[in-house]
C-alpha cells in the first residue's frame, strides 16, 4: 500500500487540539508556552517538584516534556545541576535571526512556485485579521500582545504553508518559537513601529503576485525585527 503525502515528515510540535494529547504533550505545551511567553525567565531552574505542583502533572510525563524542550533548545541540561530555561544572549539572537531569514525566505520562495488557491486564501485571511488588530494598538497591552503574537504567527505560517515540505515548515516553526521568546522578553507591543504593518502589506501583495521581490521584503522585515530586539537587549545590558 502506498504511503500518503501526510505520512512523512515530523509530527506537529504544537498540538492545538485537546483530543489525543498525552499527559507529556500537555506538560510540554504548558511549559513551552510559559518559556516562550517569558513567564519562566531565562536561566531559571526548572525544578521538577515545583513544576509538578504548578502544572498538576506526574513526574514521568514531566521528564518527557523537559527532554523535548531541551531538544527544541528552549531548555538546557547542566548535568548534576538540573535543567534550566535557555539563557538569552545577543549572540544567540543574531544566530536565530539569520537562520529565520534563510528558512522563511526559502519557504516563501517555494510557496510562490508551488502554492495554490488554498495557500493564497490563507495569506489573505490571516493578513486581514492581523491588519485589523494592528489598528487597535491602544488596547490593553497584555491582551493586545497575546493576540498580536497569535495573528502574526498565523500570517507568517500562511506565507510558508505552500512550500510542500513538512520538514521546512518544522524548522521555520522552531525558529519562530525562538524569535518569539526574545521578542516577548524585550519588546513592548504598544511600541511596535507602524512601518511593520506596511511591511506586512507589501509582503502579502508581492507574495500573491508571485514576485521574487517578496523574499527580499520578507528578509528586510525579519532583519528589522531582529535589530529592534537587539537594540532593546543592548539597552538592558543583557
Q: Please report, for the chain, the start and end positions of each structural domain, with discontinuous segments joined by +.
A: 23-85, 90-235
Residue 81 carries which DSSP code? G
Domain 23-85 of CATH type 3.40.50.300: no
Does pLDDT of 148 surpass 60? Answer: yes
Q: According to CATH, what is the number of the domain 90-235? A: 1.20.120.530
Per-residue b/e over 32-46, b at no fewer than 16 CB within 10 Å? bebbbebebebeeeb
Helix pair 195-208, 141-160: axis angle to 10 deg: 20
- Residue 84 grid cell: 534550566
If pLDDT is split at 50, 70 and 90, which confidence band does 224 have? Answer: very high
Distance, in Å, from the CA atom of 81 to the CA atom of 151, rounded to the nearest integer, reads: 38
Distance, in Å, from the CA atom of 78 to the CA atom of 180, rounded to the nearest integer, reads: 24
Specify the residue for cell string 535557555: 86
- For position 1, what pLDDT does the model report? 32
Planar angle of CA 133, 138, 144, nearest 5 degrees: 50
If pLDDT is split at 50, 70 and 90, which confidence band does 103 have? Answer: very high
Same fold yes or no, 23-85 and 90-235? no
Which pTM value belongs to this model?
A: 0.84
pLDDT in tens, 30-59: 999 999 988 999 999 999 999 999 999 899
Distance, in Å, from the CA atom of 93 to the CA atom of 95, rounded to the nearest integer, reads: 5
- For position 197, what pLDDT does the model report? 80
Distance, in Å, from the CA atom of 40 to the CA atom of 50, rounded to the nearest integer, reads: 12
Amino acid at each position: 500500500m502506498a504511503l500518503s503525502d501526510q505520512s512523512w515528515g515530523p509530527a506537529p510540535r504544537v498540538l492545538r487540539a485537546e483530543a489525543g494529547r498525552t499527559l507529556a504533550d500537555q506538560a510540554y505545551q504548558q511549559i513551552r508556552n510559559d518559556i516562550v511567553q517569558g513567564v519562566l525567565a531565562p536561566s531559571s531552574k526548572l525544578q521538577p517538584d515545583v513544576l509538578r505542583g504548578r502544572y498538576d502533572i506526574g513526574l514521568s510525563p514531566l521528564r518527557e516534556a523537559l527532554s523535548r524542550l531541551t531538544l527544541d533548545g528552549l531548555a538546557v541540561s547542566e548535568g548534576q545541576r538540573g535543567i534550566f530555561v535557555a539563557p538569552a544572549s545577543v549572540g544567540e539572537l543574531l544566530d536565530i535571526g539569520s537562520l529565520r531569514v534563510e528558512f522563511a525566505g526559502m519557504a516563501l520562495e517555494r510557496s510562490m512556485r508551488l502554492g495554490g488557491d488554498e495557500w493564497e486564501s490563507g495569506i489573505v485571511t490571516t493578513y486581514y485579521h492581523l491588519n485589523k488588530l494592528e489598528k487597535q494598538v491602544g488596547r490593553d497591552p497584555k491582551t493586545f500582545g497575546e493576540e498580536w503574537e497569535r495573528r502574526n504567527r498565523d500570517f507568517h505560517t500562511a506565507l510558508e504553508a505552500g512550500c510542500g515540505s513538512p520538514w521546512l515548515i518544522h524548522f521555520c516553526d522552531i525558529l519562530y518559537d525562538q524569535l518569539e521568546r526574545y521578542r516577548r522578553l524585550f519588546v513592548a507591543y504598544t511600541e511596535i513601529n507602524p512601518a511593520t504593518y506596511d511591511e506586512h502589506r507589501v509582503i502579502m501583495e508581492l507574495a500573491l503576485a508571485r514576485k521574487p521581490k517578496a523574499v527580499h521584503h520578507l528578509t528586510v522585515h525579519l532583519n528589522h525585527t531582529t535589530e529592534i530586539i537587539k537594540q532593546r537587549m543592548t539597552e538592558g545590558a543583557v
